[in-house]
């Protein structure tokens, strides 16, 4: 699935994100925290589209560090114990 949209193409992005998250739901195993994974994949895709504003295929280690170590801690309202599961949900 292609997530390389311009920042003005929100409707197309939103539709592709919804389709992808539906696919995530089918990939998640029965015993896992399905809603948790979907939520964090959604947050990541939204961050990439709204904050980073670059094609997803150009994502690098520095971008992941920016998301996980800078943006997410300032914006996440969950528990600190969720950190490991958040990283796993992003693959």
DSSP alpha helix (H) spans, 28-91:
34-47, 61-65, 72-75, 83-89
Angle at alpha carbon of residue 49, lines to 44 and 71, rounded to 5°: 50
Q: In angstroms, rounded to a whole number, what is the distance separating the alpha carbons of residues 21 and 27?
A: 10
Average pLDDT, the chain: 79
Residue 30 has pLDDT above 70, yes or no: no
Q: Can you give the pTM of this predicted structure? A: 0.68
Whole-number pLDDT of residue 66: 92
How do residues 41-71 score in pLDDT, each as one tens digit? 888 888 988 888 888 888 888 998 898 889 9
Place of tokens 């992941």: 64
Whole-number pLDDT of residue 1: 58
């Amino acid at each position: 699935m292609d997530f390389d949209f311009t920042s003005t193409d929100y409707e197309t992005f939103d539709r592709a994100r919804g389709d992808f998250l539906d696919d995530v739901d089918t990939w998640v195993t029965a015993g896992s925290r399905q809603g948790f994974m979907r939520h964090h994949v959604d947050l990541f895709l939204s961050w990439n589209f709204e904050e980073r504003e670059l094609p997803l295929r150009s994502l690098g280690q520095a971008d992941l560090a920016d998301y996980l170590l800078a943006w997410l801690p300032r914006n996440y309202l969950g528990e600190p114990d969720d950190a490991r599961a958040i990283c796993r949900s992003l693959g």
